[in-house]
Structures are given as C-alpha cells and as structure tokens.
C-alpha cells in the first residue's frame, strides 16, 4: 500500500442524530464537536472523547451520498471496540444506564471488557488490556 493510514473515524448511520448526541454525550461522556445544521433537527454531528471521534449521520443524507446503504438496517453487525483506562469503573458507571450485551469479564487474550448497545443497535465494547508484570 503506497500510503500510511493515519486515522479511523466511524461514521454511524442513526435514526435520530439528537438522540444519539444525547447518548454519546450524556451517558458516555463524549463532547459534541460539530453539528449540521447549527440547530436541531440535525443531519450530522461529530462527538469526541480524547482521541476517539465518531460521526453521527442521519439516514437520508447518508443514503444520498452512499446509495448502497438504501435498504440496509441501521446498527448491523458493527462493533466499536474502545480501550478505556478503567474498565471496571466504566462498567459500574454505565451498567444501570445501558443494555449490557456482554458481561464484564477477563478474556483469554488478556483483556477485560464488556459490551453494550447504543440507541441504534450498534455494539460498543469497552476494554482494558492487562498491564505487564
């Protein structure tokens, strides 16, 4: 490959951009960076937490740009795998606010993680790798 990859930003198609902003901001602690337009009803937004950035896109403009999305279900089988500093604290803080779809557990590959779904059915896994020693 002639070019080095420098960044990955998931672009999630969501039923309601405002609802998704609220979830990522109010439940997960992301910061709202940008909306289009400036006031609701939004068709696009960017949320960010540290180096993790996610685009939230309403279906109509996304389908206009990517016609292959027509007739595809929102949510699908995409999983966002996000490393966190303290997975147990994150689990404790979120377990009453989200639908847990994979319990908190240490995996055979040395990562402690749990997974939950966002309002559109996307699965988000929060994970913390073992530190050496």
C-alpha to C-alpha distance for 113 and 133, rounded to whole angstroms: 19
5: its two tokens: 């990859």
User: If the chain, 133 residues long, is cut into consecutive pieces of 10 residues, what is the mean pLDDT of each piece?
Assistant: 78 96 98 97 97 96 90 86 95 97 95 95 94 60
Q: DSSP E strands: which ranges in 2-133?
A: 11-13, 31-36, 44-49, 52-57, 79-83, 99-106, 111-117, 123-129
pTM for the whole structure: 0.88
Contacts of 4 (CB under 8 A, 6+ apart): none
Q: What is the pLDDT of residue 133?
A: 45
C-alpha to C-alpha distance for 18 and 85, rounded to whole angstroms: 28
Q: What is the pLDDT of residue 68?
A: 87
């Amino acid at each position: 490959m002639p070019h080095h990859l420098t960044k990955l930003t998931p672009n999630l198609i969501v039923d309601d951009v405002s609802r998704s902003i609220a979830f990522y901001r109010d439940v997960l602690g992301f910061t709202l960076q940008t909306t289009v337009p400036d006031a609701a009803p939004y068709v696009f937004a960017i949320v960010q937490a540290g180096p993790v950035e996610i685009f939230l896109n309403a279906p109509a403009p996304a389908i206009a740009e990517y016609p292959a999305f027509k007739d595809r279900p929102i949510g699908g089988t995409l999983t966002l795998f996000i490393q966190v500093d303290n997975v147990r604290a994150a689990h404790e803080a979120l377990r009453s606010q989200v639908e847990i779809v994979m319990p908190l557990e240490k995996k055979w590959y040395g990562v402690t993680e749990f997974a939950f779904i966002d309002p559109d059915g996307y699965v988000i896994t929060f994970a913390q790798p073992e530190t050496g020693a």
